[in-house]
Amino acid sequence: MSGFLIRNFLELAYLGRFGDLGSDGVGFLEVKRSTHMIRELWFNNVAQTMTYFRNRYFFLLDLLALALLPTVALFLRDDSLPSLYAPALAIYTLVSALLWLAAFFFMRLYSIYWQYAGIEEMWTLAKAVGLGTLLNLAVFFALLYPLGLANNLPRSLPLLEALLVLVVMVGTRGSVRWLDRRTRARRGKTTPQQRVVIYGAGEAGAMIAREMLSNPQLGLRPVAFLDDDPKKHKLAIQRIPVLGGRNQIEALARAGHVERMIIAMPTAAGKTLREITARCLAEQLPVATVPGVFELLNGAVTVNKVRNIEIEDLLRREPILGDAAAVRALVCGKRVLVTGAGGSIGGELCRQIARGAPAQLYLVGHGENSIFMRHNELTALFPQTAFVPVIADVRDAPRMGQLMQAAQPHLAFHAAAHKHVALMESNYPDAVTNNVLGTRVTLDAAAAAGVETFVLISTDKAVNPESVMGATKRVAELYVHARAVESGRRYVAVRFGNVLGSRGSVVPLFRQQIANGGPVLVTDPEVRRFFMTIPEAVQLVLEAATLGEGGEIFALDMGEPIKIVDLARDLIRLNGLQEGRDIEIEYIGLRPGEKLYEELFVPGEMYERTAREKIFVARNGVRAPAAAHAQLYAGVEALIAAAQGGDERHIRAGLAQLLPEFKAAALEGKA
């Protein structure tokens, strides 16, 4: 029944909006066009003139109105113009006009482009009229009456005139805006219009609809809203009805007059987007979305930001409300150093830090091309910030020591690391030297230079590690904790789940496999992972730097883990393909070092929520397994020596000694 009603409603709306009356209405349309041709020509000519009305013409028009309105006000009050008004009226008209113009210029009304005026401009106009009214009342009662220059004028004259001024000002300015929109609408009739349903009757949806209506040349015509809030149902926005919630998607798609769905909910969670997208794709209704809140970064929601649904949207979580002021205070005017600045996490760290106006930002990396590209990107985005590109290996102690002494950073973020689990299983020495030695060298150099805040980028794979990569990151956590306890400085670690869009992550790999025609390779049907976006991860890093006291490990409440096979299926559907018909999914088994699921905390770690929403902190669980820092340092040195000597057997033994929880049995096959 609902589908029938929606179909009929949309057919009527479609006929009313587009004039498509079918073959039986062709003759009527011809007559209608003939009888209105002259009116259309006249209207378009007038509208064209009014659209480009310059403010100098408004000034002349205002002068004329201000010269006449006091007389009109008296006529409306008395239905006549007694001769006794004449002398006083002339004086009042002159003084009043000068006061009105002073108010208008003070409020800069003649610098507004009224063709594109909106609520803000009309509010400015109202304030200008209010200021002019106050000036006129003050002069009328404090000057003209005491001097006997307005004795014959009614005391209500300033208020009557103010009302007329408001009507004239709003009418003249509003007519330009109205005529401009009507002109665009008529021009847009020659552009084919795609009928669009907007999901989300909030601020973002209203902005999208307003832009479509104001710019018919875009070829998009909003015909209906959908929204999950029942209170909005059966209402209208921009005269566009809100028809219901997501249960109406199928009926809309089957009605035949809807060609596209745009999801306008920047803060919606991925679960919501996943359900809406699945319903649309099941009905073969093309679906697009506005970016998430992290992508918008306080920018306006506009049609040109509408894009196809990406897998990152389906994994989007509700945005975390961080303390932007605290983060800005942390970096503003400070010298900041970021290692791994050429990578995905390091690059986003640099972007978010740069927004906080640091005094200097050191971009440290081993690859010259990635640092070159990052430096060019950041200098274009933030021309007022001093960026210092540095090519350095975090394992090179003399180089890192010299760099820290020269830079004297207030904060250091250590993002340089090897992260690929399977790859590191066949490259033990490099996993240790990069993740353990690199952390030790960088932190020791930072401590020697007096750096007060050091943040290590860690991973959830460091919890109960079964891989060499995870084990090396766990050792790095232990080292940072020990140095924090000894120094009393703010040295902390932050654990992440998988990040979307990073180089070498599963999503780009799946996309490439789909582009090649398949198959899509999944390790196990039950394997699950936590996912977060890179901006979310970096926000957590910066929050950790503001919250940390020293030695803590921070982790994000990352919600429910996602099945990797579900991720693959979503990507297949988003590419317009069907599993089993167009492309296959193959299971290849877990690779060395991989687990079915990841964890956030080590058993026995005491963790609690912080003052920041969805951020946990482990306060007393990160301790050297042997309880003595000296033993930890000795074990770390032995592990590094084994790695530098390429001795995989001693590397495994060293990791097992440092980490009793390390599942070394999985590595015995390499003995």
Digit-coded pLDDT (tens) for 157-178: 889 888 999 898 888 887 776 7
The alpha carbon of 613 is separated from its chain's Cα centroid by a whole number of angstroms, namely 18
Closest by CA to 198, choosing from 231, 223, 229, is 223
What confidence score (pLDDT) does residue 351 get? 94
20: confidence class by pLDDT, cuts 50, 70, 90: very low
Give all strands of the β-sheet with 260-263 in edge-to-edge order.
Answer: 236-237, 240-244, 220-226, 194-199, 260-263, 287-289, 307-308
- Quote the CATH superfamily of domain 191-314: NAD(P)-binding Rossmann-like Domain (3.40.50.720)
| Residues of the chain above pLDDT 70, percent | 79
Residue 462's CB: how many other CB atoms inside 10 A?
A: 27
What confidence score (pLDDT) does residue 302 get? 55
- Most confidently modeled of 72-86, 162-176, 321-335, 364-378? 364-378
Q: Is the pLDDT of residue 193 over 60?
A: yes
Q: Is the pLDDT of residue 94 over 50?
A: yes
Question: Which tens digit of pLDDT belongs to each residue from 243-271?
Answer: 888 888 888 888 877 888 888 888 787 78
| Residues of the chain above pLDDT 90, percent | 22
The alpha carbon of 396 is separated from its chain's Cα centroid by a whole number of angstroms, namely 38
Structure tokens at 157: 């004259």
317: confidence class by pLDDT, cuts 50, 70, 90: low
Residue with the larger pLDDT of the pair 156 and 384? 384
Please answer whether residues 190 and 217 qualify as being in contact, where contact means their C-beta atoms are separated by less than 8 angstroms: no
Structure tokens at 526: 């039950």
Give the start-to-end residue ranges of the domains of the chain.
51-184, 191-314, 324-499+528-560+598-665
Instruction: Please spell the DSSP secondary structure of 183-200, one letter per residue.
Output: HHHHHHTTS--EEEEEE-
Q: Is the pLDDT of residue 305 over 70?
A: no
> Beta-strand (E) ranges in 510-614?
520-522, 528-529, 531-533, 553-556, 562-563, 585-587, 607-609
Q: Is the pLDDT of residue 454 over 90?
A: yes
Q: Is the pLDDT of residue 665 over 70?
A: no
What confidence score (pLDDT) does residue 491 get? 93
Question: Which tens digit of pLDDT belongs to each residue from 465-514?
Answer: 888 998 999 999 999 998 988 888 999 998 877 777 666 677 778 888 88
412 three-class SS: strand
**Mean pLDDT score, 1-30:** 39
What confidence score (pLDDT) does residue 404 get? 96
List of residues 6+ apart from 273 with CB closer than 8 A = 263, 265, 289, 309, 313, 314, 316
What confidence score (pLDDT) does residue 671 get? 42
What confidence score (pLDDT) does residue 502 get? 66
CA distances from 83 to 80, 86, 635 (A): 10, 5, 107
Residue with the larger pLDDT of the pair 613 and 4? 613
- Most confidently modeled of 32-46, 447-461, 528-542, 577-591? 447-461
Q: Is the pLDDT of residue 2 over 50?
A: no
Q: Is the pLDDT of residue 44 over 70?
A: no
CA distances from 363 to 391, 409, 613 (A): 8, 12, 30
542 three-class SS: helix
Question: Which tens digit of pLDDT belongs to each residue from 334-376?
Answer: 999 999 999 989 999 999 999 999 999 999 999 999 999 999 9
What confidence score (pLDDT) does residue 373 get? 95
What confidence score (pLDDT) does residue 331 get? 92
Residue with the larger pLDDT of the pair 644 and 214? 644
Q: Is the pLDDT of residue 442 over 70?
A: yes
Helix-helix angle 55-78:157-188, to 10 degrees: 130
- Quote the CATH superfamily of domain 324-499+528-560+598-665: NAD(P)-binding Rossmann-like Domain (3.40.50.720)
Please answer whether residues 609 and 615 qualify as being in contact, where contact means their C-beta atoms are separated by less than 8 angstroms: yes
Question: Which tens digit of pLDDT belongs to each residue from 498-510?
Answer: 777 666 677 778 8
Are both 191-314 and 324-499+528-560+598-665 of the same fold?
A: yes
Residue 500, strand partner residues: 533
Residue 366: phi and psi, rounded to 5, are -90, -30
Residue 36's CB: how many other CB atoms inside 10 A?
A: 11
What confidence score (pLDDT) does residue 631 get? 84
**Mean pLDDT score, 305-331:** 74
